[in-house]
Chains A and B, each alone.
Chain A
Amino acid sequence: VHDDLKEMLDSNKDSLKLEAMKRIVAMMARGKNASDLFPAVVKNVACKNIEVKKLVYVYLVRYAEEQQDLALLSISTFQRGLKDPNQLIRASALRVLSSIRVTIIIPIMMLAIKDAASDMSPYVRKTAAHAIPKLYSLDPEQKEPLIEVIEKLLADKTTLVAGSVVMAFEGVCPERIDLIHKNYRKLCNLLIDVEEWGQVVIINMLTRYARTQFLNPNANEVLLEEGEEKEFYGSDEEEGKEEKVEKKKPYVMDPDHRLLLRNTKPLLQSRNAAVVMAVAQLYFHLAPKAEVGVTAKALVRLLRSHSEVQFVVLQNVATMSIKRKGMFETYLKSFYIRSTDPTQIKVLKLEVLTNLATETSISIILREFQTYIKSMDKDFVAATIQAIGRCATNIGEVRDTCLNGLVQLLSNRDELVVAESVVVIKKLLQMQPEQHSDIIKHMAKLIENIQVPMARASILWLIGEYCEHVPKIAPDVLRKMAKSFTSEEDIVKLQILNLAAKLYLTNSKQTKLLTQYVLNLAKYDQNYDIRDRARFIRQLIVPTDKGGALSKYAKKLFLALKPAPILESPFKDRDHFQLGSLSHLLNVKAGGYQELPDWPETAPDPSVRNVEVMDAVCCHGNCNSKRVGERSSGEERRTAKKTTEPRSESESEEEGKESSSESSESESESETESKEESEPDTEAKRNAKKKVGVSNGLELLKLFWHSRVLFVCILPCSAQTISPTFSSLKTYELLHRLTGEGLAVGYCFGRQPFVRDPHMVTVQIQFTNHMDTEARNLRVREPRLQSGMRIKEFPEIEVLPPGETVTTVMGIDFCDSTQAANFQLCTHTRKFCVSIQPPVGELMAPVFMLENEFKKEQGQLMGMNEIKETLVLGEACQSDYAIVQRVTAAANVGQVPCGSDQEYRFAGKTMTSNSLVLVTVITKRDRTAQLTVNCEKMVIGTMLVKDILHALSQ
């Protein structure tokens, strides 16, 4: 066998070898066994021809497990490859080596993985991460050393490695949540740049992580629910409850929790359905109730994808729509069913429509259902009838209409439709049988025509249960059934027995003989269930001499009031599985499924996520400040800052020397950081852009806005605008809820550079709709501005659903004055005159400069341009931290690193005219301080002094 192939493999010609390998691979693909060629193939592992080599690898990986001894011959080739200077060859050698499932080489693999984990090339490190689960599945004993490698790779800062190592983490040690702490913020920040498959894995893992580390943002909701339940069962413990509620501190979201939510949100726009689903499940499990809705639109988008995608998404939407009905209400029509949908999609859409039905939407949903009942797909029609039944139980108002509709269906020509209706009607009737004896009569007549066993059984049960409502018909039905007893299906037989027993108890005069006849038939039935039932019933209802202690209770046993069945969604409570998972879809725990933990009662120590390493990549020379910032490291610098806060002075001094651009950002508060982090790359670019515009001596080496690319630019020493250090985010009111007739609008100064115009102040506007109808077409109209002032309005907000909040951004050029910008805010029905008046501190942007530059500039702004004031520092304003914080809160200025510990310097630049604003605070021993403001715009200087004075003396 295969001698020709062996010959070809042994030849000297690459083309023959290649041909042979191609034929072998084709055999493998067809599932034919090619293992007898192993010796001939393995010889070619070191072949020069790259395609031959690749195909040999493919073969080797497939058959090595069966030919362990021979496979060892190839190992030395790979070991050589691991040392190759070309990173791609190193990676490919490791990839194949780790795929060979031969236990004897485990130590070699382990070594190779360890080496590769500290390789210079991120691509090799990525391959190492991939190799970890391979080795683990081969030998679980290696877990501990492998965890060490994982820990090392988790600390890696490249996007290339992140997804793969988290994958390895999930495969090997998902319980070691402690390994994530230090890498949490980094992972959040890298996420958007990781390849799509890695994103899915990371998001799923972070969902679990967040569940162990943060507090439930919806705790109040849970409490409320609990409270309601308590009330229901009695109010004994009411007082205790209240105490508990009072003890509960107001909920504040951990900034890290917020970071995760914010950084995953843009991924809802991914083209990859798995990524979108991962974000949606993260929001469902982690976000405050009001924010979960943002994922709805993206999920609805996935419904236009392949039917398999729809299938999975609809399963998840079905679960979500039970818990968070509101989020999909506006998309109701997107769940309408098309005649071309596969059956399983139709059934799931029905499920969602049923879950979404409310008093307001039920009429259009029922009209839609009406169309579905006429479909040719009978399984789907049956599902629709069940859905109608569920709507009827959930929404009392439409119960009678539904019931009437279903009764009409009883005269349908299709037996399946009739049968399904009978089953559903039976369930509905149980809720209020008294009013519907005519329906029961109608159904009794149907028994002659309906052949579907389940339907027959349902009718019989109904007649038996409510025999008092149909006293004349019931015995007659029993008579007919006794006749056909032997030819009935088992479930029908059981119900005939039931009916007989019930009639015997209520109307023994007419039915005694019939019952005994039926019981006798059942006694000799083939099915033991039926024989048992007959024996049991006979003992119970027919009085015998021996007494039978139970027979006097027979009536109670058979005719007890039975609670109506609750028609529940099969998706109820399925959210205890992590959404989007295989386990959720199957509603069974799949192997390797990691439980989604419950929120902790109290949050674990958040400081575990602090990162101590200073990985400063900033440095500056005397006249050239060079900034090399990779996005992730930039982030880390900021987070690192957090840990050392409030810092001792010596430290800050040291840092000041080390890197001035850094200390300019120091002392910033966690809030600010998280704000900034959301858009670091945009800022970077904007800044860079400005630099291009502002100074000519600027050399832009390479600049990409896209964060994947690190950017390097060399800047001259002239003052550069830098990112703001403090976002006070004090919210001002633009439109009160009452004046706005339910529309509340607030604004704050975002302190981010406005994208489209560097002279504009960014104003964040937040709309909240308190009305119960949606507000439409929110937009700006007729700005009335002072001359020179300009306004860049926000894009029109088309719809704001009730209860929702939306934030948008507009830019205003205030012309360096505190004059208010007046304009009209319009909705589709109303318009409101509003105005935004900026505090003087918001008219500037922070500027980075060094102390000597500062002093030089200050020297040029003396006399009229300098305003000095002495003040007494406020009670709470003693520490360094407090002073910096107060000043930066009052004005959008950046701190200038200072040598002395009694001096604080801040620099900024007005938005429109780019005039410098220099602020100096010098503290004295007796709690007094001297405040100096230098600015060529005297009005601004004066006002700013006033504001800062106020801030510091409070």
Chain B
Amino acid sequence: MIHSLFLVSTAGHIFLEKHWKSVISRSVCDYLFEAQGKASAPENVPPVIATPHHYLISVYRDRIFFVAVIQTEVPPLFVIEFLHRVAETFQDYFGECSEASIKDNVVIVYELLEEMLDNGFPLATEANILKEMIKPPTILRSVVNTITGSSNVGGTLPTGQLSNIPWRRTGVKYTNNEAYFDVVEEIDAILDKSGTVVFAEIQGVIDACVKLSGMPDLTLSFVNPRLLDDVSFHPCVRFKRWEAERVLSFIPPDGNFRLMSYHVNAQNLVAIPVYVKQNVSFFETGSSGRLDITVGPKQTMGKTIEDVVITVHMPKVVLNANLTTNQGTSTYDPVTKVLVWDIGKLNQQKVPNLKGSLSLQSGAPRPDENPTLNIDLRIQQLAISGLKVNRLNMFGEKYKPFKGVKYVTKAGNAGPQREQRSTFFCWNLFE
């Protein structure tokens, strides 16, 4: 299985290594650097690289390459999934997963990795178990530790691994018992220039923050579970119960966790909450171009659209942009050729507009690439699919918990998810 792990920064600096079997020289990472040199961006480095004696399987996250060295056959997804789990654990422990935070907490990182893998095979990957063994750093604790010399390692060995519910630690106690559920939905759509939907879907997750004492057994039901087309669950969810009754029945992990992810299949029925009118054109003479973008709310079901950001990837020949807007701010980065227009809230009264001229590299041919628009937005208190939580019941414990559900709609969380393609020069190829 996993032989060694190297953490490499984008600049090519290997800042952490850990070996579970015999030591493998860090020079093996040269193959990664070679691939990185060929790729136009770090995201384009192939996740699996074969070298004469080893295989490198890597994930790129938060500007860090997590590189696992493998010697024999292993399902690549197994390793990839594990590496992401490592990154998530760091995120969970240190608040951010960055080179600096990993270097600052190198001992904890080492202790974590030691518990997460045994002989290269995953041992404990549940956050709840790990936290019982290795306490996450807090400012207070680190001060206390330096004075008293006490440690981050739990004095008692974890019981979670021995229990039948490995994701929950035992003996949880809270004075305020609370359970919060966030229903977060993302619209993922491709539109063409005229605004026609080429492809649209809604993906959602239910993130939970459960702080309940003892061993509560929860049941969460929906008003309209039929909406859910495809689901995947945290291991705590009883699948059979879902199949038979369409309710989520589970003994929750303690703290934050993702209860379920789902997909709503509504192909063309997805209500796109905004409309965008755009006109980007380049002139044959004078090496200049014009840009005009207008955004407005469409179907918002009475809610306000917030945090609207439009990102445009311009062709390489666009040197600069001279733009004016009636709302928000716009910036153009001439190095990355990205135009960002941060609009903020959308009002019914005012229609945000961005227009101006683009200056092109002189002498260069008119670009025939069409810039794509990516739109980020956020709507509070609305799950765009209409999914509604019915009720949450608790069994197994006597106290009365405080319960809450929150709905949010976004357009993508990891990178822009919604894009508008423009087809401004017509190409009657296949018709």
Which A residues have a C-beta under 8 Å from some C-beta of B? 13-15, 18, 22, 25-26, 28-31, 49-51, 54-55, 57-58, 62, 65, 86-89, 92, 95, 98-99, 101, 121-123, 127, 130-131, 133-134, 137, 160, 164, 167, 192, 195-197, 200, 204, 266, 269-274, 276-278, 297-298, 300-301, 304, 306-309, 311-313, 333-334, 336, 338-340, 342-344, 363, 366-368, 370-371, 374-376, 398, 401-402, 404-405, 408, 412-414, 580-583, 585-586, 588, 590-594, 679, 681-682, 704-706, 708-710, 755-756, 795-796, 798, 809
Is A340 within 8 A of B374, CB to CB?
Answer: yes
- The B135-166 residues at the A interface (CB cut-off 8 A) are 148-149, 151-153, 155, 157-158, 161-162, 164-166
Instruction: Quote the shortest CB–CB distance from B111 to chain A (angstroms).
Output: 6
Contact among B107, B226, B365 with A22 in the assembled complex (CB-CB below 8 Å): B107
Is B17 within 8 A of A336, CB to CB?
Answer: no
Given contacts A340-B374, A795-B246, contact A582 B48 (CB under 8 A): yes
Interface assignment of B294: CB less than 8 Å from any CB of chain A: no
CA A342 to CA B36, docked complex, whole Å:
13
CA A42 to CA B15, docked complex, whole Å:
26
Interface assignment of B249: CB less than 8 Å from any CB of chain A: yes
Is B315 within 8 A of A376, CB to CB?
Answer: yes
Among B298-306, B347-355, B377-385, B419-427, the stretch in contact with A: B419-427
CA A311 to CA B198, docked complex, whole Å:
23
Is B119 within 8 A of A200, CB to CB?
Answer: no
CA A274 to CA B79, docked complex, whole Å:
8
CA A591 to CA B46, docked complex, whole Å:
20
Contact among A137, A340, A681 with B21 in the assembled complex (CB-CB below 8 Å): A137
Chain B positions 362 through 406: 1 when the CB is less than 8 Å from some CB of chain A, otherwise 0: 000100111010100000000000000000000000000000000
Instruction: Quote the shortest CB–CB distance from B1 to chain A (angstroms).
Output: 8
CA A867 to CA B294, docked complex, whole Å:
84
Is B14 within 8 A of A588, CB to CB?
Answer: no
Among B91-99, B174-182, B227-235, the stretch in contact with A: B227-235
CA A715 to CA B22, docked complex, whole Å:
57
Q: Can you add 6 more A-B contacts, CB < 8 Å, to A402-B430, A408-B427? A: A130-B121, A274-B78, A297-B229, A339-B372, A344-B44, A370-B427
Instruction: Quote the shortest CB–CB distance from A304 to chain B (angstroms).
Output: 6
Instruction: Quote the shortest CB–CB distance from A823 to chain B (angstroms).
Output: 19
Report, nearest first, the 4 A-B pairs whose CB atoms are least far apart: A15-B149, A592-B72, A51-B151, A88-B157
Is A271 within 8 A of B232, CB to CB?
Answer: yes
Instruction: Quote the shortest CB–CB distance from B273 to chain A (angstroms).
Output: 19
Instruction: Quote the shortest CB–CB distance from B154 to chain A (angstroms).
Output: 8
Interface assignment of B80: CB less than 8 Å from any CB of chain A: yes
CA A756 to CA B118, docked complex, whole Å:
44
Is A586 within 8 A of B50, CB to CB?
Answer: yes
CA A274 to CA B1, docked complex, whole Å:
14
CA A175 to CA B419, docked complex, whole Å:
51
Interface assignment of B316: CB less than 8 Å from any CB of chain A: yes
**Chain B residues whose CB sits within 8 angstroms of the CB of A401 once the complex forms:** 429-430
**Chain A residues whose CB sits within 8 angstroms of the CB of B157 once the complex forms:** 86, 88-89, 92
Instruction: Quote the shortest CB–CB distance from B299 to chain A (angstroms).
Output: 21
Instruction: Quote the shortest CB–CB distance from B113 to chain A (angstroms).
Output: 9
CA A133 to CA B44, docked complex, whole Å:
35
Contact among B71, B203, B267, B430 with A405 in the assembled complex (CB-CB below 8 Å): B430
Is A371 within 8 A of B423, CB to CB?
Answer: yes
Given contacts A274-B78, A342-B43, A580-B75, contact A269 B231 (CB under 8 A): yes
CA A271 to CA B229, docked complex, whole Å:
15
Interface assignment of B31: CB less than 8 Å from any CB of chain A: no
- The B74-97 residues at the A interface (CB cut-off 8 A) are 74-78, 80-82, 84
Instruction: Quote the shortest CB–CB distance from B221 to chain A (angstroms).
Output: 12
Is B84 within 8 A of A307, CB to CB?
Answer: no
Is B16 within 8 A of A164, CB to CB?
Answer: no
Question: Nearest residue in A to B85 (C-beta to C-beta)?
Answer: A272
Question: Nearest residue in B to A132 (C-beta to C-beta)?
Answer: B119
Query: What are 13 inter-chain pairs, A to B, with CB distance below 8 A?
Result: A25-B106, A26-B106, A29-B18, A29-B106, A98-B119, A269-B239, A336-B190, A339-B421, A344-B46, A370-B427, A413-B365, A590-B73, A756-B244
Instruction: Quote the shortest CB–CB distance from B106 to chain A (angstroms).
Output: 5
Is A374 within 8 A of B369, CB to CB?
Answer: yes
CA A88 to CA B158, docked complex, whole Å:
8
Is A709 within 8 A of B165, CB to CB?
Answer: yes
Is B246 within 8 A of A708, CB to CB?
Answer: no
Instruction: Quote the shortest CB–CB distance from A390 to chain B (angstroms).
Output: 15
Given contacts A269-B231, A271-B233, contact A311 B46 (CB under 8 A): yes
Is B164 within 8 A of A708, CB to CB?
Answer: yes
Instruction: Quote the shortest CB–CB distance from A757 to chain B (angstroms).
Output: 11
**Chain A residues whose CB sits within 8 angstroms of the CB of B111 once the complex forms:** 54-55, 58
Instruction: Quote the shortest CB–CB distance from B217 to chain A (angstroms).
Output: 7
CA A49 to CA B149, docked complex, whole Å:
10
Is A50 within 8 A of B153, CB to CB?
Answer: yes
Is A336 within 8 A of B199, CB to CB?
Answer: yes
Is B44 within 8 A of A270, CB to CB?
Answer: no
CA A924 to CA B123, docked complex, whole Å:
63
Contact among A29, A274, A298, A708 with B230 in the assembled complex (CB-CB below 8 Å): A298
Given contacts A18-B151, A30-B16, A306-B80, contact A706 B238 (CB under 8 A): yes
Chain B positions 48 through 69: 1 when the CB is less than 8 Å from some CB of chain A, otherwise 0: 1010000100111100000000
**Chain A residues whose CB sits within 8 angstroms of the CB of B201 once the complex forms:** 334
Contact among A123, A195, A200, A586 with B48 in the assembled complex (CB-CB below 8 Å): A586
The secondary structure that dominates the A interface is helix
Interface assignment of B344: CB less than 8 Å from any CB of chain A: no
**Chain B residues whose CB sits within 8 angstroms of the CB of A31 once the complex forms:** 14, 17, 26
Interface assignment of B285: CB less than 8 Å from any CB of chain A: no
**Chain A residues whose CB sits within 8 angstroms of the CB of B421 once the complex forms:** 339, 371
Is A130 within 8 A of B119, CB to CB?
Answer: yes
**Chain A residues whose CB sits within 8 angstroms of the CB of B131 once the complex forms:** none
Contact among B18, B47, B164 with A308 in the assembled complex (CB-CB below 8 Å): B47
Contact among A134, A266, A588 with B239 in the assembled complex (CB-CB below 8 Å): A266
Is B119 within 8 A of A679, CB to CB?
Answer: no
**Chain A residues whose CB sits within 8 angstroms of the CB of B74 once the complex forms:** 582
**Chain A residues whose CB sits within 8 angstroms of the CB of B161 once the complex forms:** 123, 160
CA A588 to CA B51, docked complex, whole Å:
12
Interface assignment of B11: CB less than 8 Å from any CB of chain A: no
Instruction: Quote the shortest CB–CB distance from A392 to chain B (angstroms).
Output: 11
Instruction: Quote the shortest CB–CB distance from A621 to chain B (angstroms).
Output: 27
Is B149 within 8 A of A308, CB to CB?
Answer: no
Contact among A130, A334, A363, A592 with B430 in the assembled complex (CB-CB below 8 Å): A363
Is B44 within 8 A of A340, CB to CB?
Answer: no
**Chain B residues whose CB sits within 8 angstroms of the CB of A590 once the complex forms:** 55, 72-73
CA A679 to CA B201, docked complex, whole Å:
33
Interface-centre pick from B17, B77, B240, B315 (highest chain A CB count, 10 A)? B77
**Chain A residues whose CB sits within 8 angstroms of the CB of B39 once the complex forms:** 343
Is B240 within 8 A of A313, CB to CB?
Answer: no
**Chain B residues whose CB sits within 8 angstroms of the CB of A25 once the complex forms:** 106-107, 110
CA A897 to CA B60, docked complex, whole Å:
64
Question: Nearest residue in B to A163 (C-beta to C-beta)?
Answer: B121
- The B17-52 residues at the A interface (CB cut-off 8 A) are 17-19, 21-23, 26, 39-41, 43-44, 46-48, 50
- The B172-213 residues at the A interface (CB cut-off 8 A) are 188, 190, 192, 198-199, 201, 203
Given contacts A273-B80, A371-B421, contact A340 B430 (CB under 8 A): no
Interface assignment of B310: CB less than 8 Å from any CB of chain A: no
Is B16 within 8 A of A413, CB to CB?
Answer: no
CA A363 to CA B427, docked complex, whole Å:
15
CA A273 to CA B155, docked complex, whole Å:
34
Contact among B21, B78, B188, B198 with A197 in the assembled complex (CB-CB below 8 Å): B78
**Chain A residues whose CB sits within 8 angstroms of the CB of B46 once the complex forms:** 311, 344
Contact among A197, A344, A581 with B125 in the assembled complex (CB-CB below 8 Å): A197
Interface assignment of B263: CB less than 8 Å from any CB of chain A: yes
Contact among A14, A26, A709, A755 with B149 in the assembled complex (CB-CB below 8 Å): A14
Instruction: Quote the shortest CB–CB distance from A936 to chain B (angstroms).
Output: 32
Is A366 within 8 A of B16, CB to CB?
Answer: no
**Chain B residues whose CB sits within 8 angstroms of the CB of A270 once the complex forms:** 232-233, 235
